[in-house]
Amino acid sequence: MKVKQFLNGKKPLVSFEFFPPKTNEGVATLMETIQALKELKPSFVSMTYGAGGSTRERTVSLVSAIKHKIVLEAVAHLTCVGHSQSELRGLLKELEGEGIENIVALRGDPPKGQTRFVQAPDGFRYGSELVQFIRKEFNFCVGVAGYPEKHPEAPTLEKDLEHLKTKVDAGGDFVVTQLFFDNRDYFNFVKRLRSIGVTTPVIAGIMPITDVDQIKRFTSMSGATIPPTLLAELEKVKSDKARVIEAGIRYATAQCTELLKKGAPGIHFFTLNKSQSTREIFLNLKKNGSVQ
């Protein structure tokens, strides 16, 4: 089932994102985690893709297993990093052959140790080119990424919005945002998109906080900010892991509740391959009537 069909439904979409583990033991543990989350009935589960195709085989095998063995809709991430057009075509045919119907198309971050993105020979420089390529040759439902607080490489928010519009115009069916912690950033982002003619659904990307230093690293890399009041609360309990997790669950529950109440079409949880916080947030949302 294509993601855009979930977005056309009456109830809000809820999805979970994971990354391919490096070991077979890690893969087994991840599959158990996803199997346990199945009872929550997520709309879909997505699997990220390593720089330069470093997790290519695991990404393909995992999305296939999620779709056919666990029987949940699976979405495969795909990046331009290190791939020629023929390599991308081959990978897309592989995913198509596994029955995967949805792709999140990304330019991708530079590989570890590199400071800037380098276009592969006969590859693509921009995510919009990858979207256009997929749309021209395949029948996938295509998602693209959006940055409520601006992509770190974009000179201005207006320029970043133009880039996102280019991706949508190239064939993007839905937008998934980067993590954010101030809902005003999300709603202002959507309002700005609508003002330049982008009507595509914008799914809110949420990362439950489980570690203070970790979330600081993630926000510094992604261009997101942590509201001062939230940061102050986290710093007070930083030495107590359980209290950090509790604060993260409480904040994300309130954040998601407001987002859904005010019209966000769905929530996409960046789980970092951990299920407990995501599960508790989801159950809180179910309890307060935000999700069914």
Active site residues: 17
First to last CA, the chain: 19
Q: Are 266 and 201 in contact (CB under 8 A)?
A: yes
Q: Tell me how far apart the alpha carbons of residues 284 and 252 are, in angstroms, rounded to a whole number.
A: 10
What's the CA dihedral at 263, 74, 220, 282 to 10 degrees?
50
Which among 276, 282, 271, 274 is positioned nearest to 48, based on CA atoms?
A: 271
User: Could you give the CA distance from residue 31 to residue 232 in angstroms, rounded to a whole number?
Assistant: 36
CA dist 138 and 96 (Å) reads 8
Rounded Cα distance, 78 and 105, in Å: 5
Torsion of CA 45, 50, 53, 58, to 10 degrees: -50
With CA atoms as reference, report the closest residue to 272 among 3, 57, 33, 12. Answer: 33
Query: What single-letter DSSP state applies at residue 201?
Result: -
Taking the C-alpha atoms of residue 10 and residue 221, their distance in angstroms, rounded to an integer, is 35
User: DSSP string covering 75-127, please?
Assistant: EEEEE-TT--HHHHHHHHHHHHHTT--EEEEE--PPPTT-SS--PPTT--SSH
